[in-house]
Structure 1
């Protein structure tokens, strides 16, 4: 697996070279093996043929010497024949019983060579040629035996002498054949190496010519990946690579045009997004300013007017003597007191003074206390461990998102408990609001936006305008967790 992975990681240049050289080596080895085997068979056949010719020659000339029991002539014949043929290791003449009559060994026979050797029965049934001319034409009437001696492998050819008076045993040494085969093997190896070298040189050259356009395309593709869409592949061939280069260049031009168009649209989108953010910021600022103005008018003007009205009612009550009129005036005073309390509550909700004078933590504590008492919900608030100093925008955003979240919990969540946690982490403030209600459906935000219920969407807009984030985590019937993270801001003040 590792070898395959490494091969896959190689360059196409090396893969093609390895493939070509590998195929050449395989083909050369197969052809060399076939040639070597054919040459070996041919040499074996030629050796047997030569051995039978020599054996028939000796059998024809030595038959009379055997009949006359002229051992000297037999020794002279076989020694001269051996000296005239380099590949003949020995010549033995034996009688019909296999006993040796004459041989060319100066000493003992080589180890592994039998002294008495009889031919097979099939050879004894064959007719023996009488004349040398017939012997040279009947070279198939012989028997071949292979021996492994201390001098190496020996191929012995047993040839019958006429009238069946004996046999000629010619020992052909295979050293010459092996040397010739070794020489042929060296030639095949050298030829294979030369062919592989030439093929490798040619393959390297052709591969470089083929790979060069691909490298140019690869370089151009990397430039496009880096964002340089003006690059063009310079491939001048008319083959498939040339067509691919033209297609690639056309694609690069198209991508360049699309990139310019996308950049233009992105710039327009950024401009519009900036305008939208600016308008949203101005909208929220105007909303807060209007709330502050209305809160002050309700507190300063309308509240003072209602207080004056109550004072006049008190004066009238002191001067009335009719009980019925006094009761009517008392009822009217109670209504005026209720209206005055409602105005004060509305003014506080529009812009709580504690937010401006005591800070966000105190404002949240007071609001949560009133919320829990008015809605019969168990509220737990965990303030930060350290003094929290945030900008005015962040303070207002925290308070408004807390208001909107608790309003949604009252209307939709059917919760019995709410946990609020406010912490400071580095240069960010984090608020977590968790309830045990029925949860928010995954598409609630999209549905709220489509149905013009902008509470949740407005919360996200407020957070994003200050560079923060608002996340919802909710499971059906398992409550909802709202996580708000905001940067503290630069125009922070020290009220807590």
Structure 2
């Protein structure tokens, strides 16, 4: 069938684009431009810098190569097809002029020879034939006869008109030219030219351009690999240095590869590490001094408690005991009932005061802790604790195979003492359990209650919460760990102290 001469390869490209747009539109909102762009940005953002650079190089090379190929192919197609049309028009005009003589002389053999010579001299010509005014074929170049469907393309009444049409056959597109013979009423010459040779030329040029694009793309990939290596090597070193600094290694430094902005960034980062290292060393020195001062302060506090407890026991306790003895002697020598009653009341007051002084002495520094160790001291303290808080049951379990160092014993005793006091004063608990054990050169303690709990983070932020801060400081001074977990069902305090931390 004939087709329009204006249909170019760009029309096929536009038609393909329209079909793709319609297909994408039928898929719903998930393939909308916004969704596709968002997906593209997400994918591009997640890849490495090397991949981005190589992707840019490949994209530019591919777009440039294919654009040039399409432009060259389109221009060549238009130029060669226009040249084919001009050549066909020229050849058919020449045949029409040269056919007059043989036709008038009724020299059909000469006319046939003219057509065969023309066919041999022009490789694009597929056929040529001459018809008279009635449409009868006078001469042709076909092996047998002119196909009927070819004759049907040109009605007899159009033989006097110059025409040019396209149609498709097994070889592809055929350009059919018709030129009336210069003498009116004699007939016309038909000439068919194929695009096959031109398409082979165009396809060959296209293949060479695509091959060139491929070679350029490979060269671009190699250049991109080298370029990304140059660009990303210092960046990767910076990332590696950053990770090492994040893990605590402040001795590492980023290498200075180049003198550009990345090199300046590496120098600035190294300067930042140096300043951070200096600041950390200063903080560590201050923290060490603070810890040493706090340790000496606690040690002095314990020594002072021990001295006061000893003074209470030895001096005040002995004085109260002597007072009781004197009161007893007075009771034996006195005979008045009023005097005996007064002495009895005085004896009760002194006896209660003596009991209080002894309890205060044990609280300041229990002699059991120094003489018998942590387990015995906790047993004694638990008994006194239960007598003071009868509504709170205490389950104490100490599994200590060895005697702990004195510094650990006194610190752990104070921590457990503070924890138990906090439970009694603030948690409204009815049950309290204390577990102390040693495991793998570490001493562990767990204090757990069934009270209403509290907000641990808020309590730690509250500077007035001396008890919890004191427990934390005592634990950290011994290189230990303390963890407090609290909820509406109760509170649990985990303490772990290495035995090697003691002097």
Specify the TM-score bucket, using the shorter chain as the normaliser.
0.7 to 0.9
CA shift digits 1:299-334 (9 cap, x unpaired): xx5444544444444444444444444444444433
Whether 2:186 is the aligned partner of 1:165: answer yes
Question: Could you tell me how far 1:461 is from its partner in structure 2?
Answer: 3.1
Question: Could you tell me how far 1:270 is from its partner in structure 2?
Answer: 4.0
Aligned 8 A contact 2:168 2:174 in 1: yes
Counterpart of 1:393 (choices 379, 400, 407) is 407
What residue number does 1:116 align with? 151
**For the pair shown, which has the larger CA radius of gyration, 1 or 2?**
1
What residue number does 2:426 align with? 413
TM-score normalized with structure 1 length: 0.74
Aligned 8 A contact 2:176 2:190 in 1: yes
Whether 2:484 is the aligned partner of 1:467: answer no
CA shift digits 1:34-62 (9 cap, x unpaired): 32233233333333333333333333333
Answer with 225-234 or 333-342: which moved more.
225-234
Q: 1:485 to 1:48 in 2, by over 3 A?
A: closer
1:432 is paired with a residue whose SS is: strand
Structure-2 separation of matches of 1:174 and 1:105: 19
Give matches, 1:140-155, under 5 Å: 141-149=162-170, 154-155=174-175
Question: Could you tell me how far 1:419 is from its partner in structure 2?
Answer: 0.7
What residue number does 1:137 align with? none
Structure-2 separation of matches of 1:145 and 1:439: 93
Aligned 8 A contact 1:435 1:481 in 2: no
Aligned 8 A contact 2:416 2:447 in 1: no
TM-score normalized with structure 2 length: 0.73
> Root-mean-square deviation (CA), in Å?
4.3
1:114 is paired with a residue whose SS is: helix
What residue number does 1:204 align with? 223
Aligned 8 A contact 2:393 2:432 in 1: yes
2:177 is paired with a residue whose SS is: strand
What residue number does 2:290 align with? 273
Question: Could you tell me how far 1:269 is from its partner in structure 2?
Answer: 0.9
Q: 1:464 to 1:81 in 2, by over 3 A?
A: closer
2:154 is paired with a residue whose SS is: coil
Q: Which runs of 5+ in 2 are unaligned?
A: 1-38
CA shift digits 1:353-403 (9 cap, x unpaired): 544555434443443333333333232314146757433333333433343
What residue number does 1:485 align with? 496
2:393 is paired with a residue whose SS is: strand
1:279 is paired with a residue whose SS is: helix
- What is the number of residues matched between the two proteins? 457
Q: 1:79 to 1:22 in 2, by over 3 A?
A: same
Structure-2 separation of matches of 1:63 and 1:48: 23
Question: Could you tell me how far 1:432 is from its partner in structure 2?
Answer: 0.3
Aligned 8 A contact 1:473 1:482 in 2: yes
CA shift digits 1:195-250 (9 cap, x unpaired): 667x739x829x857974764576477557564577673645xxxx3x5645653x
CA shift digits 1:123-160 (9 cap, x unpaired): 4575xxxxxxxxxxxxxx233343515x6654332222
1:159 is paired with a residue whose SS is: strand
Question: Could you tell me how far 1:421 is from its partner in structure 2?
Answer: 2.0
Give matches, 1:191-270, under 5 Å: 192=213, 200=220, 204=223, 208=226, 212=230, 215-216=233-234, 219=237, 225=245, 227=250, 233=256, 235=258, 241=260, 245-246=263-264, 249=267, 251-252=268-269, 254-255=271-272, 258-259=275-276, 261-270=278-287
Question: Could you tell me how far 1:104 is from its partner in structure 2?
Answer: 2.7
Q: 1:41 to 1:470 in 2, by over 3 A?
A: closer
Q: Which runs of 5+ in 1 are unaligned?
A: 127-140
Give matches, 1:314-393, under 5 Å: 314-356=328-370, 358-384=372-398, 389-393=403-407
Q: 1:235 to 1:377 in 2, by over 3 A?
A: same
Structure-2 separation of matches of 1:440 and 1:86: 97
Structure-1 separation of matches of 2:354 and 2:42: 87
Aligned 8 A contact 1:394 1:489 in 2: no
1:23 is paired with a residue whose SS is: helix
Whether 2:455 is the aligned partner of 1:436: answer no
Aligned 8 A contact 2:423 2:451 in 1: no
Structure-2 separation of matches of 1:66 and 1:327: 171
Question: Could you tell me how far 1:430 is from its partner in structure 2?
Answer: 0.8
Aligned 8 A contact 1:17 1:204 in 2: no
Structure-2 separation of matches of 1:153 and 1:390: 104
